Structures are given as structure tokens and as C-alpha cells.
Amino acid sequence: MDPKARYILEQVVRLYHRYGIKSVTMDEVAKQLGISKKTIYDFFSDKEDLVKQVLMFEHELRCGFLSAIEEKKFNAIEELFEVYKVINVMLKEYNASMEYDIRKYYPALFLKIREVRRRQMYESVYSNLNQGKKEGLYRKELNSKIIAKLHVFRTEGFFDTDIFTLEELSSMKMFHEIFVYHLNGILSHDGRVFFESNFDKFKATLS
């Protein structure tokens, strides 16, 4: 990727998360970044193209974070905790108006991005479940496909309801409950022993 295009995407991601998509015009992008609109149009054909590339850029960043976690060769429980830490940080940066704007003004793009997110989340959870089963940390008999789909369904549901506030979703208390709730359904005896003996250490690493 061209360094200038990457710079624009990095800055626009911040603007969209702060102000939403609808209110951030191409003129505003140029003003905030201190560049000309012509420079923006050298890399992005129009606002919809910019929005699309911003969303894909974010997705690629998430995939990069997950790949970096996988490369560290954690066991399944440790890996799951590291993933939850990344998600916790993302939630603190989340702006509900950005998601709303995508749904309302770019419905086709929203459906495409949702499918990409679903596939990535499903594959990540499915892989973790199978790893945990092989390591003896998760129940051997659990159905990885069903649990992975259920996890995706439950995660999407958090953002389609006003039962929880964004502050609640990104709080340590919520993190604890979601993490424990998920693990209690999948841990084997050995996995439970490992989890209970290491949970305080896990929590201490959270910022």
C-alpha cells in the first residue's frame, strides 16, 4: 500500500470513530489532514470508496492482531484471553454512530463487511475450540461448529440492542462475565484447573 494512502486511512479511521461517517465530508477529511482534496482523490474515487477501504483497512488490522497472537504459540485459553484483550481495546474505540451510518447510507457495503467479519470471527473461534480440544483444555465432545456460530450470533447481538451501554460492554466487569461464561461452557477438568489458577494473572495484564 502506498504510504500516503495508508496515512489517509489511519487518520480517517480516527475521524470516523470519533464523529461517525455521515458528518465527515471529504472537505472535512482534507481540512483535518492538512492535505488537498485532489490528494485524497488520487487514492480514493469517492467517499463510498474511501469508506469501503477504511473498513477493509480496519479488518486487515484486526486480522494482523490475531495473526500476531497465533504466532506466539499460546495454549487455547491463553490465546482466547489475548483475543479478548484486543476486543476490549476495540470496544473502547467503538462509535455506535459509525455502525449506524454504514447500515443506513451504505447498506450493500454493510452486508459485505458483516459477512467478512462473521467469517473471520467464526474461523478464529472454531480454530481456538479445536486447539483447546486437542490440548485437553476444552471438552472433547463439544461441537466446534455450533459453539463457534453461537459465539458469532451472541457477539453480533450485543450491538443490535440497547440493553447494554457502550461503557458496560467495554468494562472489566463485562469482560470478566463474558469470558467466564464462555469458558465455563467449554472447559474440561484440566482446562478449569488451569484457568482458575491463572485468572488473576490474566486480569493483571489488562490495561
Q: Which domain holds residue 189?
A: 3-204
Using alpha carbons only, how large is the chain's radius of gyration in Å?
19
Q: What's residue 170's pLDDT?
A: 64
User: CATH no. for residue 146?
Assistant: 1.10.357.10
pLDDT in tens, the chain (207 residues): 889 999 999 999 999 988 889 999 999 999 999 999 999 999 999 999 999 999 999 888 888 888 899 889 899 999 988 888 887 777 777 777 888 899 999 999 999 998 998 999 999 999 999 999 999 999 999 999 999 999 899 888 776 767 777 677 666 677 778 778 888 899 999 999 999 898 887 776 655
Dist. CA 150–CA 164, nearest whole Å: 19
Whole-Å CA distances, 41 to 20, 47, 124, 186, 205 = 21, 9, 35, 49, 43
- Secondary structure percentages of the chain, helix, strand, coil, to 5: 80, 0, 20
What is the domain count for the chain? 1
Extract the C-alpha cell encoding 20: 461517525
Q: Is 45 helix (H, G, I), strand (E, B) or coil?
A: coil
Dist. CA 83–CA 81, nearest whole Å: 5
Roughly what angle, to the nearest 10 degrees, separates helices 47-71 and 3-19? 100
The 10 Å Cβ neighbour count of residue 200 is 8
| Exposure string for 138-155, b = 16+ CB within 10 A, e = fewer | bbeebebeebbbebbeee
Extract the C-alpha cell encoding 114: 458483516
Q: What's residue 205's pLDDT?
A: 62
